[in-house]
């Protein structure tokens, strides 16, 4: 039997047709409605010439339309390629060029709205045939910088998506899950598929601000939520502010599972979550676009193994290379043969994570650093050289290097070390960020800038000695 993403919705539309499947704010679709609109949209995609294996790109915003397009492409065997809507037109075009001749259709918001308007006018439609579909074919392409800093596409097959998100043999009641992740991010779709396989609802807040997240939890009595540490900080600060004002506190009592991960999770955050949600089980996950969920830390280990990211998930195998890099095998790892791009695997088939790690005698994993120079900030990957290329063109900049500084909420924060041009007024952070505005997504903009006399570089190749630069900045900060 083939493991196909489309079967999730076709089966749920029969079993639980009137159960809520998806909502954004106060607008939602049942499983029957979601199955119908995606079937209609699939017909419209076929009419536009989209065929199995073709890629459909979309700047994936927080909307019902994004989900309909995701499912419609899966039903016809096409590949959904969600793009971060925060990217500039040039950055988005660069990602589309990675897809190459396989890109059949690129839609903006108005294009998707027209597609769905045409789809809804079709009324009842027959199911799109899927007899020839292959579970190992890609159905979604996630763009990530991975451990190299250079953008690349990670194709995830139907089979891998189903195995990453399978809830077990029985679709036991899970209750709604609130998902504060953008819809170009792998985590959003993994959470959604976990819910949909269990025939439960996915709720997206209208924004990722703390008040909207809390309102979504209360309105839908959400039982599960996964937030990166920075988002959890927003929620806790919001509740503290409401308490200080003497205002009614948001009702978060329905939460049973409060999950976090993606960047470093300090013990103080865990204690704050336990105070905020005493009724909830708190868990830390480690994973990636390439591998899906890899490890989980929970229970007493949260305090007894502080600094660890937990034990391997079911079916996951881990090893540490001679260079100290964490490497992974398992059914949730993407299958590189479905795309010709560099896959980052060892010769014997283990995924290279780019993370330096240690595994203790009891099997607990601790991430100790990065094998490459890419900056990980709030779940995003930032290439220092890409940002440096923009900053080097700005007025008043003689030399520049970009590094990631440790940050308790974001994992790392982007910092620009600038050597000012002689005889000119040195730039400040505001002018640096303004110069990035039209050329780089906001998450790539420096959040800190320091003026230095020179950038430490290697003698022969003049490469930035980033470790030495970080140490210099931290030493001066703490002096």
> Which pLDDT does position 171 carry in this prediction?
61
Does residue 225 have a pLDDT over 70? yes
pLDDT digits over 228-264, tens only? 888 898 999 999 999 999 999 999 999 999 999 876 6
Residue 217 makes CB contacts below 8 A (sequence gap 6+) with 178, 225, 250, 251, 252, 254, 255
Alpha-carbon 361 to chain mean position = 31
Yes or no: say if 371 and 325 are a contact pair by the CB < 8 Å rule. Answer: yes
Rounded Cα distance, 415 and 42, in Å: 45
Mean pLDDT of 70-98: 93
Mean pLDDT of 82-92: 90
- Counting residues of the chain whose pLDDT is more than 90, the rounded percentage is 68
> Which pLDDT does position 339 carry in this prediction?
43
Could you tell me which of 419, 193, 179 has the C-alpha nearest to residue 292? 193
Rounded Cα distance, 32 and 34, in Å: 6
Does residue 139 have a pLDDT over 90? yes
Per-residue confidence at 267, pLDDT binned at 50, 70, 90? confident
> Which pLDDT does position 244 carry in this prediction?
94
Q: Which residue has the higher pLDDT, 170 or 93?
A: 93
Out of 137-141, 172-176, 336-340, 379-383, give the one with best mean pLDDT: 137-141
Rounded Cα distance, 329 and 57, in Å: 29
Residue that is written with structure tokens 């060892």 in the block: 346
Taking the CB of residue 47, how many other CB atoms lie within 10 A of it?
A: 12
Strand (E) or helix (H) holding 26 = none
Model's pTM, two decimal places? 0.84
Per-residue confidence at 276, pLDDT binned at 50, 70, 90? very high
CA terminus-to-terminus distance, the chain: 64
Q: Which residue has the higher pLDDT, 99 or 131?
A: 99
Rounded Cα distance, 116 and 40, in Å: 8
Does residue 273 have a pLDDT over 60? yes
Taking the CB of residue 315, how many other CB atoms lie within 10 A of it?
A: 11
Does residue 76 have a pLDDT over 70? yes
> Which pLDDT does position 210 carry in this prediction?
96
Mean pLDDT of 449-474: 84
- CA dist 457 → 55, 165, 399, 415, 430 (Å): 42, 45, 11, 17, 26
Per-residue confidence at 34, pLDDT binned at 50, 70, 90? very high
Q: What are the tokens at 357? A: 């790690």
Rounded Cα distance, 376 and 403, in Å: 10
> Which pLDDT does position 431 carry in this prediction?
93
Residue 95 makes CB contacts below 8 A (sequence gap 6+) with 57, 81, 83, 87, 143, 151, 153
Mean pLDDT of 432-443: 92
Does residue 302 have a pLDDT over 50? yes
> Which pLDDT does position 338 carry in this prediction?
44
Alpha-carbon 72 to chain mean position = 21
Mean pLDDT of 394-423: 91
Rounded Cα distance, 18 and 395, in Å: 59
Q: Which of 166-180, 208-222, 345-359 has the lowest mean pLDDT?
A: 166-180
- Counting residues of the chain whose pLDDT is more than 70, the rounded percentage is 94
Q: What is the mean pLDDT of the chain?
A: 90
Question: Per DSSP, what are the bridge partners of residue 153?
Answer: 143
Does residue 42 have a pLDDT over 90? yes
Q: Which domains does the chain have, with CATH numbers?
A: 5-308 (3.40.50.12780), 309-372 (2.30.38.10), 375-478 (3.30.300.30)
How, if at all, do strands 224-226 and 177-178 pair?
parallel
Does residue 377 have a pLDDT over 80? yes
Strand (E) or helix (H) holding 367 = strand 365-370
């Amino acid at each position: 039997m083939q493991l196909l993403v489309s079967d999730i919705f076709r089966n749920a539309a029969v079993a639980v047709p009137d159960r809520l499947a998806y909502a954004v704010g106060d607008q939602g679709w049942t499983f029957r409605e979601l199955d119908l609109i995606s079937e209609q949209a699939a017909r419209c995609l076929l009419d536009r010439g989209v065929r199995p294996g073709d890629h459909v790109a979309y700047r994936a915003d927080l909307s019902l339309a994004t989900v309909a397009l995701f499912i419609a492409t899966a039903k016809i065997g096409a590949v959904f390629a969600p793009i971060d809507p925060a990217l500039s037109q040039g950055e988005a075009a660069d990602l589309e060029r990675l897809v190459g001749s396989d890109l059949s259709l690129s839609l903006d918001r108005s294009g998707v709205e027209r597609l769905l308007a045409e789809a809804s006018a079709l009324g009842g439609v027959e199911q799109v045939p899927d007899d020839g579909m292959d579970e190992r074919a890609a159905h979604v392409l996630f763009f990530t910088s991975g451990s190299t800093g250079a953008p690349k596409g990670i194709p995830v097959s139907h089979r891998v998506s189903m195995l990453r998100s399978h809830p077990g043999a029985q679709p036991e009641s899970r209750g709604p899950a609130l998902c504060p992740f953008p819809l170009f991010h792998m985590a959003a779709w993994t959470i959604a598929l976990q819910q949909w396989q269990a025939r439960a609802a996915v709720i997206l807040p209208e924004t990722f601000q703390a008040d909207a997240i809390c309102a979504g939890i209360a309105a839908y009595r959400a039982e599960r939520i996964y937030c990166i540490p920075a988002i959890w900080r927003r929620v806790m600060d919001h509740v503290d502010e409401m308490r200080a004002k003497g205002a009614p506190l948001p009702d978060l009592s329905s939460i049973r599972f409060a999950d976090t991960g993606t960047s470093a999770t300090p013990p103080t955050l865990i204690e704050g979550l336990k105070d905020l949600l005493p009724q909830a089980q708190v868990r830390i996950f480690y994973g990636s676009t390439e591998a899906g969920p890899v490890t989980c830390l929970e229970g007493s280990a949260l305090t007894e193994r502080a600094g660890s990211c937990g034990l391997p998930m079911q079916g996951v195998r881990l090893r540490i290379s001679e260079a100290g890099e964490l490497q992974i095998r398992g059914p949730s790892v993407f299958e590189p043969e479905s795309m010709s791009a560099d896959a980052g695997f060892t010769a014997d088939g283990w995924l290279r994570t780019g993370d330096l790690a240690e595994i203790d005698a009891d099997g607990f994993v601790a991430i100790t650093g990065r094998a490459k120079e890419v900056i990980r900030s709030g779940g995003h990957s930032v290439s220092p050289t890409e940002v440096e290329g923009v900053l080097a063109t700005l007025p008043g900049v003689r030399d520049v290097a970009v590094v990631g500084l440790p940050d308790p909420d974001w994992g790392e924060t982007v910092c620009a070390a600038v050597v000012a041009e002689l005889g000119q007024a040195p730039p400040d952070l505001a002018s640096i960020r303004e110069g990035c505005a039209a050329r780089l997504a906001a998450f790539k903009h420096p959040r800190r800038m320091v003026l230095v006399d020179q950038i430490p570089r290697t003698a022969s190749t003049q490469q930035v000695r980033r470790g030495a630069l970080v140490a210099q900045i931290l030493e001066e900060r703490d002096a």
